[in-house]
Amino acid sequence: MFDGSGVLWFQQAAHPVLDAVARIFTYLGSEYFYMLILPLWYWCADRRRGHQLAFLFLVSMWLNGLLKDVANMPRPSALLDGVQVLVRESSNGFPSGHAQGAMTVFGYLFAEYPVGWWRALCAVLIVLIAFSRPYLGVHYLGDTLGGLLIGLAVLVLFRWGFARGLGGAWPRRRKLLLALVVPVILLPLYGEPVAYQTLGFLMGFWAGDLYAMQALPYSTPARPALAAARLGVGLAGFAVLYVLHGAVIPNGLPELPGYALLGLWVTAGAPWLFRRLGLAGGGPGTAGETPAAEGLVVPGGTGSAALAAPVRPLLRLAAGFLAATALGAALAQPPVDRAQYGPMAGEPARRPVPLVIAHRGGDQRPENTLESFRYAASLGADWIELDVHRIRDGSLVVLHDETVDRTTGGSGNVHAMTLAEVKALDAGYWWTPDGGRTYPYRGRGLTVPTLEEVLQALPGQRLLLELKDDDLQLAEAVARVLEAHGATDRVMVASFHDRTLQHFRRVAPHVPTSLASGEALRFVILQRLGLTPYHRPAGIALQVPEYHGMLRVFSGGLVRLAHDRGVEVHTWTVNDPRKMEQMFLAGVDGIVTDRPDLALRVRASLFPPSHR
């Protein structure tokens, strides 16, 4: 179910005509199609059902994004599964959003309109949209079936709630408070762009429809000519707002009220314009849509005066969303200019391929030795990561642990040793390629190298230096050595220790650095809250694990907001080729790995030279 066999079964029937058909139906499951069909139903077919359908769809798609983030499962791979990937997408695989969205929308329309031909059409669309995905190599069969089942469960639950009028008797102010607060509370649960879209639309649609359904009535279903006019006017306004949103509003928290304005346009802006342009229709609308039916007519009032009171809350909502968007955009720092970016961050089309960073030189040779560094360089690793300690006599040695026990034939704390004592150790003593049966580098003269030796042995190689100790003198000594060897333009310096890295920046401000542990934690928290537009990080690279405990740290949303701040995103330590592919597609700028050979192979399959 979650391997390539199901995809290969579908692709047995591969043919250029079927490829084109599958692409058409996969486009019918895209966000742009739903931007058309949901307003079409709300404005032209059935306003009440359109309200339910939009609410159901937005909640379902937010849930889909959350489940994708939690499951964090890869998509099919041409390299690893042997399938054809005809459409490339960067989000996680399970559950399929196309399958879940198709079941949500067309399943609702299937249930609401018990007409034979209509139900057959809805069923066919669900099947073709959902199963176009494995045919195109975008989803495993398990992703598709999971999306269908989750969409069905959401549909059943919501229809059960609609039928019983759950929440219908709540005071309008309580509903309004929920509409404005719930999306803000849910936003930090995951930070992908779809979260801002679905929650923002939900906020504006939910809040606006509390008043617009009664304040701005229009008749549905509309005659074909009237429906076409409404759709043309409504979508034109929506398109203008959508383009302005993308051009003016910064990524992050300001997107939420920005998308809420788009939701408010659907529920109130376009209906107001319909009434002004004479497109509301001849009758008051379907049952329950007239002001009188809800007791909202001002006593003794007639015409537009009767509608004035209920329209005021909509004006206040529009003003509030607009003010929140404008304030958020005004206070945000502008995206970092391209000239100030690190060597990788920026728009994908303007970046080279992601970096492959050999962790300690990789695990195919004894780690943190000249042997491993030379081997990684011979493979074509872009950068080599290494660890630096300052020992008793002030020398800088390249070793990961504080003790020499794990990697050498000696024992003891490296900080208590002199360089002569460290050099007497066999740095290849414990390395084995076969689980301990052989130790081919014992007695071959491998020593723990100094930082100076690495710089001399690899004069053109880019290096990622980690300062292992919370030691200001270590920072100063590394800065002096880099300057003496003219290596300041080919290194990046990292450390888990905020104090040490901040001191290094003071003594060597021209050398690029990553974010230290505390700085990275602050950035990730701000990213989850959408607040990175108001923060200027000190370094140019954010180096993070995929997970910190149970919390998923790396995501495409993190990459998006980091790039706005001119910050690269590197993940460590990634050795699974499926994870490598998943992260490359999500826009990571660099992968720190013990297997640079695998990472280079995966990268070459995704970014062939002709596409670079």
Residues with catalytic function: 359, 400
Question: The tokens of 523 are what?
Answer: 């950035």
CA distance 461 to 380: 10
Which is nearest to 61 in space by CA: 182, 161, 151, 156?
151
| Single-letter residue type at 106 | F
CB 514 within 8 A of CB 540: yes
Phi first, then psi: what are they for 100, rounded to 5°? -65, -40
Phi first, then psi: what are they for 471, rounded to 5°? -145, 110
CA distance 261 to 142: 36
Q: How far from the centroid of its chain's Cα atoms is residue 366's Cα? A: 36
Helix (H, G, I), strand (E, B) or coil at 57: helix
Question: The tokens of 287 are what?
Answer: 């049952």
Read off the DSSP letter of residue 509: T
DSSP code string of 580-601: HHHHHHTT-SEEEES-HHHHHH
Cα angle at 117 between 112 and 119, to 5 degrees?
35
Read off the DSSP letter of residue 336: P
Strand partners, 514: 541
Helix (H, G, I), strand (E, B) or coil at 158: helix
- Report cis status (omega within 30 of 0) of the bond before 221: yes
What is the helix (H) or strand (E) element at residue 390, kind and residue range?
strand 383-390
Read off the DSSP letter of residue 459: T
Read off the DSSP letter of residue 268: I
Strand partners, 296: none
By 3-state DSSP, what share of the chain in percent is helix, strand and coil, each rounded to 5? 55, 10, 35
Helix (H, G, I), strand (E, B) or coil at 545: strand
Question: The tokens of 50 are what?
Answer: 């359109």
Read off the DSSP letter of residue 42: I
